[in-house]
Structure 1
Amino acid sequence: MEVIAAAETHIHTDFLSGSREFSNLYHANLYVSDEGDCDWKYQYLNECRYKLVREGTEFKIGHIKFNAIHTPGHTPESISFLVTDTSQNNYTNDKPIGIFTGDFIFVGDIGRPDLLETAVGMKDTAKIGEIDDLFYRPKFIQNYADEQIDIVLSGHAHGVQFRLLFISKLVAPNQGVLPKYTAGLYEKQSTSMVVSRGLGNSIIPQRIFNRPELVVVQLN
């Protein structure tokens, strides 16, 4: 498999995504957001091959078309990528087949809107209610199954950062000690959920017995 491009939905100010290193390792183009103000711009991009994208930016990789949509909420510069298969043998080649988001999509914004109000100072953006129930966390697989969601790709640091020999799963964000969903494919009713160990770290800058992982998913 040849990797030719990678895309980020938002900046991680507390995490390290490893995107620049990934771009340099595979000589891949990096697509990143140019939305947000001066406090929410990517830095050190001259160290890799990159393209800045904004609302309405369109690019193709093979016959797969990506349209950038500015979806602030999780962070001010957050973007999502609307995906369309334009191949001639696809009868839905004029309709999107999916969307890549950096968090759960809400109406008009993106998950964790409370961050905009508490950290960035954007007033009246916090949602009142049980926001946690809508997050894209692996432990909510039953919620996804109840909503008849076909597939959930759960990335980030959800797939455990620390493992121990023989015990294996030690601790994961939002799942606590000895988490249940840490890596691989999980199925519940008609829902399939893929959990990746990820490439980066959480606020703790070290992995323990847990090598970074890049998951390749083939959709049929």
Structure 2
Amino acid sequence: MGVRIRRAEQGDRDLVVRLLDEAFMDDPVSGWVFPSEEYRRARHAGLMAAFTDATLADGYIDLVEDDAAVALWMDMPEEFHAPTEAELAEQAAAVRAAVDPDNERVEQIARWTAGIHPVGRAHVYLWMIGVVPGRQGEGLGSALMAPVLERCDREGLPAYLEASNPRSRALYERLGFVFTGTALDLPDGPTLWPMWREPQAS
């Protein structure tokens, strides 16, 4: 499948937010953070904007050429350390204040995902990958991931992500990711599966 991929620039910011908003509107974790559909439609894009801005500042974003899918990546250095409780609280509170000050779950999900992030080895972090609903199942997600995973294999870098539903977990397993063994079960909500991929020989 000949999928062309381009690196997003600052001018693509609103496009990326829109794509993520569409792709994750019905995701189980988004539904947990914003339980009411009406409320989710009003607030969800703000959370996607926060993720986009953070990635444009410190990572990189890839888009398929027809703007139907997007991936947010971060290169995590070996010296990346586990945040202290105070750092976690400060970072999560800042996300909540920027996105939805009255919604405690915005802060909780930011705190919990940061708290389970592996440390001690340089790795590539797939923060988010989304395909617009009408294009899912076409292999766009795998195509977006392929160049970065090929780079990981060339450079001997592991990769990490959190799968938010069983379908995506199965896709990541086919690409070489392995469940770390400790899931994040959201209270009265879905499960997130942290997954790790060792570099693979060609």
As a proportion of its length, which structure holds more helix?
Answer: 2
TM-score for both structures, normalised by structure 1 = 0.25
Larger Rg: 1
Greater fraction of residues in strand: 1
Greater relative contact order (Cα < 8 A, sep 6+) = 2
